[in-house]
């Protein structure tokens, strides 16, 4: 039985938020407050009850949140990852409450009527917290591709994922094949 409402979509949303900036090139998908609104609309479902009027202040807060969440994936160990998540959860006032919308009673942690950054922070941090508790720190990864530094949560059975996407895996495999061909 899965007691968590934060074990799937919130984890994918957290990864998408962190990867909304390409750290290799500096290209940022969150360039304007409207980009935050578009991001929330893509992941919201029926959760977000905050103010839809977003400002440059919201943009700054969400970008700072994104950097704080990336630390979970670059942490040296489970303790550092947990400390980072706990700090975000505290800062966004992630307080549990029972919600009865949808498929029956379940927990929500995001503040009602809060800012976009607080909502994103609570949902993303709870998703990553659930992933850390249920899957362990070794499930948190950074792409092994030489041209990418995106993050991912490894859901493979044998915990063997090296890249953030099939595209990066294919690109790395083609590059390795070409190196072998040149060497022979």
Domain count, the chain: 1
Which pLDDT tens digit goes with each residue over 131-175? 999 999 999 999 999 899 999 999 988 888 999 999 999 999 998
Tell me, what CATH number does 23's domain have? 1.10.3300.10
- Give the residue numbers spanning the domain of 101: 9-142
Residue 178 resides in a domain: no
- Do 56 and 35 contact (CB within 8 A), yes or no? no
Strands (DSSP E) found in 3-157: 97-99, 106-108, 140-142, 151-153
Which pLDDT tens digit goes with each residue over 115-134? 889 989 999 999 999 999 99
- Do 115 and 51 contact (CB within 8 A), yes or no? yes
């Amino acid at each position: 039985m899965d007691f968590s409402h934060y074990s799937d979509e919130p984890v994918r949303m957290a990864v998408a938020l962190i990867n909304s900036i390409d750290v290799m090139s500096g290209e940022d998908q969150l360039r304007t407050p409207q980009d935050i609104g578009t991001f929330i609309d893509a992941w919201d479902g029926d959760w977000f009850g905050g103010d839809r009027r977003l400002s440059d202040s919201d943009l700054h807060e969400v970008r700072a949140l994104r950097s704080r969440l990336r630390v979970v994936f670059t942490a040296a160990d489970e303790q550092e990852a947990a400390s980072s998540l706990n700090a975000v959860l505290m800062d966004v006032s992630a307080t549990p409450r029972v919600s009865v919308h949808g498929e029956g009673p379940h927990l929500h942690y995001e503040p009602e009527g809060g800012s976009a950054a607080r909502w994103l922070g609570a949902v993303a941090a709870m998703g990553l917290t659930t992933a850390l508790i249920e899957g362990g720190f070794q499930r948190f990864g950074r792409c092994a591709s030489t041209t990418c530094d995106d993050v991912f949560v490894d859901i493979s059975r044998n915990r063997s994922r090296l890249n953030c996407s099939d595209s990066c895996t294919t690109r790395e495999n083609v590059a390795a094949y070409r190196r072998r061909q040149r060497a022979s």
